């Protein structure tokens, strides 16, 4: 519908890029179609890029080459973050947080690839709440499992900070419980909305450039050229946001795991 | 006022929140830079807290964007 409308009116539909479309129809399971979608394809690409990146850098040479330095830089960065936030025990969780960080970072960056110029449609995996929601739920589940495994029901003392007066405990408990339960939602929403908003903004600006160019030389000079300059700047900003959002997701996960490991 | 008009005005009003978050994020980085220039030696150790503050301030602006999108695209009638 949106495509036909766009063809006739010249409007650019900024939401079309988020559509999940089946590539292979797959099979039917309990009345649901299980298809191989473009989302699945870009997740596989993400996995492939991360795998290649790690494969090239795990030669364990005494004098590392450039590639190995790049890989060791990222692993060392996550390792430092875990040690700084959790302590010596935090290194156990480095593999999980590292996988999380690399998946989000590479998925964000792959979604920014300008493969549209050769006719392919890039798809940002992390611009869907289902994907970021699952990542957040896994992080939250690890916090719950580690917390109850290590501390048993003493884990609930997380919701009562030290030195709370007795008559305030019920209220503080409720407030802290609420802020704890909101965590997976805030984790998932932040990544999803940041990527969605950035991509909508770029498509809207691209619409200005295309329609401005088509509307004649005056509009091209007044609208299309400034929009294009702005778009280049926004693209650089989006690359920064892609990295910051991956970092923030990993950082907050490490802080939440710290709560479960050390209480407070 | 008909339904479609009210919807667009509502989405526009919700977008004000995004600008408010811009104030918040600017305040986080501005305050960090101000104090980092006073004591550059301590700046690096506080980078984690900088990004926690950034994430908290940014989330509320992103929520305003979500509200605008819900107002625009969810039909409540």
> CA-based Rg of chain A, rounded to a whole angstrom?
23
CA distance to A37, A201, A209, A218, per residue, from A215 (Å): 36, 21, 10, 8
Taking an 8 Å cut-off on Cβ atoms, the answer to whether A248 and B55 are in contact is: yes
pLDDT score, position A45: 92
How many Cβ atoms from other residues are within 10 Å of residue A196's Cβ?
A: 23
Going from the first residue of chain A to its last (264 residues), give the mean pLDDT of each consecutive group of 10, the final group possibly shorter: 48 78 76 82 92 85 84 91 88 92 94 82 88 94 92 86 84 90 92 90 88 84 89 92 92 92 81
ipTM over 0.85: no
> How many Cβ pairs closer than 8 A exist between chain A and B?
33
Q: How far is A248 from chain B (nearest CA, A)?
A: 7
Structural domains for chain B: 3-73 (1.20.20.10)
Cβ contact B62–A81 (<8 Å): no
Residues of A with CB under 8 A from a CB of B: 81, 84-85, 186, 189-190, 193-194, 197, 244, 247-248, 251-252, 255
Contacts of A162 (CB under 8 A, 6+ apart): A264
Beta carbons of A190 and B62 less than 8 Å apart: yes
Quickly state the pLDDT bin for B62 (edges 50, 70, 90).
confident
pLDDT of residue A233: 92
Rounded CA-CA distance A112/B75 in Å is 31
Question: A190: which chain B residues are within 8 Å (Cβ-Cβ)?
Answer: 55, 58-59, 62
CB contact (8 A) between residue A244 and residue B62: no
pLDDT of residue A192: 92
CA distance A31 to chain B (A): 27
CB contact at 8 A, B21 and B64 = yes
pTM (2 d.p.): 0.86
Residues B58, A247: C-beta atoms closer than 8 Å = no
Least confident of A5-9, A106-110, B39-43, B70-74: A5-9
Measured CB to CB, residues of chain B less than 8 Å from chain A are 48, 51-52, 54-55, 58-59, 62-63, 65-66
How many angstroms separate the CA of residue B49 from the nearest CA in chain A? 10
pLDDT value, residue B32: 94
The beta-carbon contacts of A252-255 under 8 Å, at least 24 apart in sequence, are A252/A183, A252/A187, A252/B52, A252/B55, A253/A97, A253/A100, A253/A139, A253/A187, A254/A81, A254/A82, A254/A85, A254/A86, A254/A90, A254/A93, A254/A97, A255/A85, A255/B52
pLDDT score of A219 = 81
């Amino acid at each position: 519908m949106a495509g036909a409308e766009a063809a006739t009116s010249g409007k650019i539909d900024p939401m079309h890029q988020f559509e999940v479309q089946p590539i292979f129809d797959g099979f039917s399971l309990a009345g649901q179609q299980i298809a191989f979608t473009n989302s699945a394809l870009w997740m596989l690409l993400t996995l492939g890029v991360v795998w290649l990146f790690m494969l090239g850098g795990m030669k364990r040479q005494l004098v590392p080459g450039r590639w190995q330095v790049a890989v060791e830089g990222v692993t060392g960065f996550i390792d430092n973050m875990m040690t700084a936030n959790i302590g010596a025990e935090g290194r156990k969780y480095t593999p999980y947080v590292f996988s999380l960080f690399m998946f989000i970072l590479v998925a964000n960056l792959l979604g920014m690839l300008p493969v549209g110029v050769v006719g392919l449609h890039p798809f940002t995996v992390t611009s869907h709440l289902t994907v970021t929601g699952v990542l957040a739920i896994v992080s939250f589940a690890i916090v719950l499992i580690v917390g109850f495994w290590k501390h048993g029901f003493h884990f609930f003392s997380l919701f009562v900070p030290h030195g709370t007066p007795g008559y305030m405990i019920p209220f503080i408990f409720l407030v802290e419980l609420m802020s704890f339960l909101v965590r997976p939602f805030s984790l998932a929403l932040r990544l999803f909305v940041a990527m969605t908003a950035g991509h909508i903004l770029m498509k809207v600006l691209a619409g200005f450039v295309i329609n401005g160019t088509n509307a004649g030389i005056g509009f091209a000079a007044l609208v299309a050229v400034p929009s294009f300059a702005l778009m280049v700047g926004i693209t650089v900003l989006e690359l920064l946001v892609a990295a910051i959002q991956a970092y923030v997701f990993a950082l907050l996960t490490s802080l939440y795991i710290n709560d479960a490991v050390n209480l407070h | 006022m008909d339904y479609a008009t009210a919807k667009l005005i509502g989405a526009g009003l919700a977008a004000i929140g995004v600008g408010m978050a811009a104030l918040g994020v600017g305040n986080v980085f501005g305050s960090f830079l101000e104090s980092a220039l006073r004591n550059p030696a301590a700046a690096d150790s506080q980078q984690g807290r900088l990004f926690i503050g950034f994430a908290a301030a940014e989330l509320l602006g992103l929520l305003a964007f979500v509200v605008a999108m819900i107002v625009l695209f969810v039909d409540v009638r």
